[in-house]
Chain A
Amino acid sequence: MTGMTETVRGVVRADQCDHFGHMNVQFYDAALSDGYFHMMSLIGLHRQAVQDRKLGIAATKMELNYRRELRAGDLFRVETGFLVFEPGRVITVHRMTRLTDGKLALTAQSIGTPIDLALRRRTELPDDVVTLASRFICTAEDLAA
């Protein structure tokens, strides 16, 4: 088990900021979405595999806890892991860190449901994906660290 792993590293763009002078909430979600897809690529569900296997994991619930603001030009990192990864249910967690001072900027948790992309119906994740995902199982304590 390796726990959470880095899935995004970048810089806040000026056009992602609102008139409050910080990154607008929609772009936090966009960064987590990028991190989520990055994680998918690490557990065997990269773009080509998703296309071939017609398999995805759709988010059904998400909770974000904003801790510190990010401003244009801030460097940040997202780390991603799984609290639960079962054939029928996935709980993903993200931690965003403001690299310019090392402070925690956000934590998030989402519940995902495997989906058959051909039938657009709920399905179950195969063993090979569950096995690969087991490397990224973490705990709630890891998220807060």
Chain B
Amino acid sequence: MSDETTSWEGLSALWRGTFNQWQSGLAGHVNIQHTAHAIDDARQGWLLQAGINPFDARSEGVGFGARRLRIDFRREMTPGDAGFIVGRAARTADGRGMLCGRLLRSHDRALLTCFETGIDRIDVATGAFLEPVSMPDTGTVEPLRAMPEVADPLARDPAMRQSWLGTVETRDGDPSGRMTPRALFDVATRGLWATQIEAGLTRDLLADEHIGSGVTALQVSQFHVPALGDLLTAHTGLVGFGKRSCSFRHLIHDVGNDRPVAVVDYVLAFFDRRTGRPAPPGDTYRKKAEKLLMQPVA
């Protein structure tokens, strides 16, 4: 058993499942939207264990979501991997009540993913966030490393490109007709590819340059939960480069109602496809990606 997982042993599972071939993304591993979906199921599982039946709550017009979600991806997940999520309500060092969880691989307990999420009530009639679910403080958990903040998260930097435009389809909705977290990540995934390809970072170029990449960290700040049929747009820009990574930001906006939906920040880490080892993306990538570079934080 890995030391990383020791303190999580003994907690009851909030989600358990197997990732399938159809959940694989263009990068060849399980796409983040399916991890986000498992975490959403884990939220519901935690609520049930805490004595709040989410099925019954919905009949009273209350759904559940999260204003904030932060995920660190520690190991690549491949179709066929089986895993489970455990979690505990905790007061993180910054004082917020969060569900802190770990996705572990079933056969060897390897740590796949760490996450922190609030659990907030949603008015299913309007999609507005209501008061957060009160969480008992069952201990302090070391918070995940903070991701870079941008001065005004809702400001659209001139370097940002429109990366997606479309409606919330039936398949994107929860039982109340509100957009699921998985669907939000689907938009972000498509937006990221669209932005890279439009900047000349095509899949062929990435293959020719042996550039592999994967999301290693992300943070979602959500302001509103769209409904089926809402027209959304995403704008995407590059926050900056690290040594072997770069950070992208998506602004997802409800066009029809002119209100912000979410800000999604990604850290994309690069590796050499020939060796599988971390590697800088190289000058070709950097030159093309620089066109998307947003203004630095003051």
Contacts and interface: CB of A to CB of B under 8 A. Distances in A.
Given A10-B15, A47-B80, A47-B81, A72 B175 contact: yes
A34 B82 CA distance: 8
A10 B84 CA distance: 10
B55 A75 contact: yes
A137 to B, nearest CB: 19
A73 B54 contact: yes
B17 A8 contact: yes
Interface stretch (A35-43, A59-67, A105-113, A123-131): A35-43
B41 A11 contact: yes
Contacts, number: 95
Nearest to B79: A47
A14 B171 CA distance: 7
A44 B82 CA distance: 12
A59 to B, nearest CB: 15
Contacts of B18: 8, 33-35, 37-38, 41
B48 interface: yes
A38 B17 contact: yes
Contacts of B79: 47
B16 A42 contact: no
Binding site secondary structure of chain A: mixed
Interface in B1-53: 13-18, 20, 38, 40-41, 44-45, 48, 53
A15 B20 contact: no
B175 A100 contact: no
Contact of A15 (B17, B44, B107, B170): B170
Interface residues of A, number: 29
B167 interface: no
10 contacts: A8-B16, A9-B84, A11-B45, A14-B170, A34-B17, A38-B16, A41-B105, A74-B55, A75-B44, A77-B16
Interface of B: 13-18, 20, 38, 40-41, 44-45, 48, 53-56, 58, 78-82, 84, 105-108, 170-171, 173-175, 177, 180
Given A11-B45, A47-B78, A75-B45, 20 more contacts: A6-B16, A7-B16, A9-B45, A9-B84, A10-B17, A15-B170, A33-B18, A34-B17, A38-B18, A41-B107, A42-B82, A44-B107, A46-B82, A46-B106, A46-B108, A71-B175, A73-B174, A75-B41, A75-B44, A77-B16
